[in-house]
Amino acid sequence: MTIGILLTIFGIFYLKNKENIAMIERGMNPKLPGTKSNVLMPRSFTALRIGLPLGGAGLGLFFAGWINETVFRNDIPAIYFGLILLFAGIGFIVSYKIEVNWIKRVEAAEKKVKGEVEEA
């Protein structure tokens, strides 16, 4: 078991090193947080990726409790599981859409700047 754990740790560091070398070969800085295809990602996306699904799960729990008390008047666990997963999934989708929209806007702005620089 000890050998397996050590090999796993070694493998993780080995792959991370290879990734850094590949990024350097492509002209990217591996030390910058959130570099993804030469687009600097803000750290707030991490909070968004965690916060929206958790907020959605909380909202789903609230609605499940409310529906359980007002409509069914007894405990039906399927309502809780279903609504928590539904609203958490909606949170993931909204987070993804916000991130993709931001990346598209940044790439469009970079293309615009590069076009203006090439014209000058």
**Each residue's pLDDT tens digit, 14-68:** 998 898 888 888 877 777 655 555 455 556 677 888 889 999 999 999 999 999 8
Count, residues in the chain: 120
Summarize pLDDT for 69-81 with one digit per residue, the tens. Answer: 888 887 888 889 9
Q: What pLDDT score does 23 carry?
A: 81
As for how many domains the chain has, the answer is 2
The answer on pLDDT for 120 being more than 70 is: no
Q: Are residues 38 and 3 in the same domain?
A: no
- Residue 60's contacts (CB-CB under 8 Å, 6 or more residues apart) are 83, 84, 85, 86, 87, 88
**Phi and psi based region of residue 38 (left: phi greater than 0; alpha: psi -120 to 50; beta: remaining):** left
58 and 46 within one domain: yes
- Looking at the structure, do residues 15 and 57 belong to the same domain, yes or no? no
Q: What is the pTM of this model?
A: 0.58
Residue 56 and residue 38 share a domain: yes
SS3 40: strand
Inter-residue contact 103 to 45 (CB < 8 Å): no
Cα four-point dihedral sign 45, 51, 52, 53:
positive
| Enclosing domain of residue 111 | 33-119
